[in-house]
Chains A and B, each alone.
Chain A
């Protein structure tokens, strides 16, 4: 158990809908990262937050947005969902958000868009 929690574990929804994925980092970690993992793309970095502020952006679509709240939990919002958005979404956390730190991954949310 990494100490990172994610809810829900599974999510099934329809095309065009909007969903929110939630992540709580390890106690004491200030930085949160979101990743998408699909069979054909591998693990793709989406976005990073540090202490409530966006710090780095990866291959995140405009239909996706995220935020980190004062209590350091983070939410990833996915809207106008398409079939291709079906994937595992991982949240990871690290202490200070610096690149050489180990990232601790949560168990993931498996999203299925029908």
Chain B
């Protein structure tokens, strides 16, 4: 299958750095999205990686290693408002090309 695996829950301290990992099936892989979703709200787009490497957008960065089937989302200078679920979603060739979402990682930021 095109499984996406990510940890269920993580906690971190305000001002710290946290890395949220995501692993996926490499066969036919075509790209990976990260979305942020606050409780009861809509997911919002954070990043899309196709090529290996790190892409930085302000406090958030996303990394991809295609050969290892691995991605991470790095959040720096954590703020309380960063408490949310972070969804990893992958695309594969063949069949429906619609991104498949993981179950999300619930990040709790405490003072």
Q: Do A and B bind each other?
A: yes
Q: Which A residues are closer than 8 A to B by beta carbons?
A: 2, 4, 33, 41-45, 48, 56-58, 88, 90, 99-100, 102-108, 110
| A90-B42 contact in complex given A99-B30, A102-B48, C-beta closer than 8 Å | yes
Q: Which of B43, B91, B97, B99 meets A105, CB within 8 Å?
A: B43
Q: How far is the CB of B43 from chain A (nearest CB, A)?
A: 5
Interface size on B, residues (CB 8 A): 23
Question: Could you list some 28 contacts between A and B, CB below 8 A?
Answer: A4-B42, A33-B98, A42-B87, A42-B101, A42-B104, A43-B43, A43-B87, A43-B89, A43-B104, A45-B98, A45-B100, A45-B101, A56-B97, A58-B96, A58-B98, A88-B40, A90-B42, A99-B31, A99-B91, A99-B97, A100-B31, A100-B91, A102-B48, A103-B99, A105-B42, A105-B43, A105-B44, A110-B40
Q: How far is the CB of A86 from chain B (nearest CB, A)?
A: 14
User: What is the chain A residue whose CB lies nearest that of B31?
Assistant: A100
Q: Which B residues are closer than 8 A to A by beta carbons?
A: 30-31, 33, 40-45, 48, 50, 87, 89, 91, 96-104
In the complex, A42→B89 CA distance in Å?
Answer: 11
Query: Knowing that A56-B96, A102-B33 are A-B contacts, what are 10 other residue pairs whose CB atoms are under 8 Å apart, sorted by A's residue number?
Result: A33-B98, A42-B101, A42-B102, A42-B104, A43-B104, A44-B101, A45-B99, A57-B96, A99-B91, A110-B40
Contact residues in B for A4 (Cβ distance below 8 Å):
42
In the complex, A104→B33 CA distance in Å?
Answer: 13
In the complex, A108→B41 CA distance in Å?
Answer: 7
